[in-house]
């Protein structure tokens, strides 16, 4: 619990140019997913908007450590060890506490632990690829993992996804869920990815890119990457399930 007063003023208006268009033919699945008719709005039910309150008693001991949370005793995941940290922020830059942050990713070879995975890269027996944590009083979150590898995908003849981690951010109700992806600073595949190229504003792409932060590494163990998530406003983080703006 906290004593922070809830936001009661008007929200900053969305910048529609900040988010990609729903119909982007180079990203093939957008062709069938883009709306064919005018959008309409459905009101939320009471259950959707007053759902669960997340607390730290929800978490397991290793939920925020993907290096060990699926590994056999005495073993660990294979790959470059990294720490991902940052804050969940509102449109005015204030940290939001008590947010459930889920994350999932491919392993160091670029393969997901999924029965329909088609990439022939090796499967790490000690890496499950998912975890969760809850933001602190200042909106901060942190987890440890291995850096995911890039992988090919059947969009074009030779399209590859850059290394990335998926994020799901829950508010205080199940309808308050936002999903996004985090990329890594310096990855040349970012600028060649058809999904990324649907975003018109370079600044918005950079906001999806985590910066290497050597000041927060664990010496002789893990590098650190900083990734803040902005939930609303003119410069909110791009969320793939809210392409029109959250």
Domain ranges of the chain: 29-230
164 is an active site residue: yes
166 is an active site residue: yes
Q: 170: part of which helix (H) or strand (E)?
A: strand 164-170
pLDDT at 156: 87
Share of the chain above pLDDT 70, in %: 86
Query: Residues 141, 164, 183, 225: which is the catalytic one?
Result: 164
Whether residue 83 is predicted with pLDDT greater than 90 in this model: the reply is: yes
From CA 80, how far away is CA 82, in angstroms rounded?
6
> pLDDT tier at 112 (50, 70, 90 boundaries)?
very high
From CA 217, how far away is CA 213, in angstroms rounded?
7
Query: Residues 70, 161, 225, 232: which is the catalytic one?
Result: 161
92 is an active site residue: no
* Neighbour-count burial for 201-213, b at 16+ CB within 10 Å, e otherwise: eeebbebbbbeeb
CB 126 within 8 Å of CB 70: yes
Whether residue 82 is predicted with pLDDT greater than 80 in this model: the reply is: yes
**What pTM value is reported for the model?**
0.86
Query: Residues 70, 112, 141, 183: which is the catalytic one?
Result: 112
161 is an active site residue: yes
Query: Residues 14, 142, 166, 223: which is the catalytic one?
Result: 166
85 is an active site residue: no
> What dotted CATH number matches 29-230?
2.60.130.10
> pLDDT tier at 116 (50, 70, 90 boundaries)?
confident
Query: Residues 27, 151, 183, 225: which is the catalytic one?
Result: 151
pLDDT at 53: 60
pLDDT at 219: 94
């Amino acid at each position: 619990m906290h004593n922070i007063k809830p936001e009661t003023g008007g929200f900053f208006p969305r910048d529609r140019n900040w988010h990609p268009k729903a119909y982007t033919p180079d990203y093939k699945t957008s062709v069938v997913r883009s709306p064919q008719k005018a959008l309409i709005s459905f009101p939320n039910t009471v259950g959707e908007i007053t759902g669960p309150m997340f607390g730290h008693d929800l978490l397991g001991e290793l939920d925020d450590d993907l290096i060990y949370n699926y590994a056999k005793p005495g073993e660990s995941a294979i790959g470059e060890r990294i720490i991902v940290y940052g804050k969940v922020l509102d449109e005015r830059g204030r940290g939001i506490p008590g947010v459930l942050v889920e994350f999932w990713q491919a392993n160091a070879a670029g393969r997901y632990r999924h029965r329909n995975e088609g990439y022939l890269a090796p499967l790490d027996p000690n890496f499950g690829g998912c975890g969760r944590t809850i933001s602190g009083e200042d909106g901060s979150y942190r987890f440890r993992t291995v850096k995911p590898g890039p992988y090919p995908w059947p969009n074009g003849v030779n399209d590859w996804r850059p290394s990335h981690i998926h994020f799901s951010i829950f508010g205080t109700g199940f309808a308050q869920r936002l999903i996004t992806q985090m990329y890594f600073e310096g990855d040349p595949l970012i600028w060649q990815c058809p999904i990324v190229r649907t975003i018109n504003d370079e600044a918005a792409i950079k906001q999806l890119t985590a910066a290497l932060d050597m000041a927060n590494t664990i010496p002789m163990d893990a590098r650190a990457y900083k990734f803040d998530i902005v939930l609303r406003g003119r410069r909110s983080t791009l969320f793939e399930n809210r392409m029109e703006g959250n």
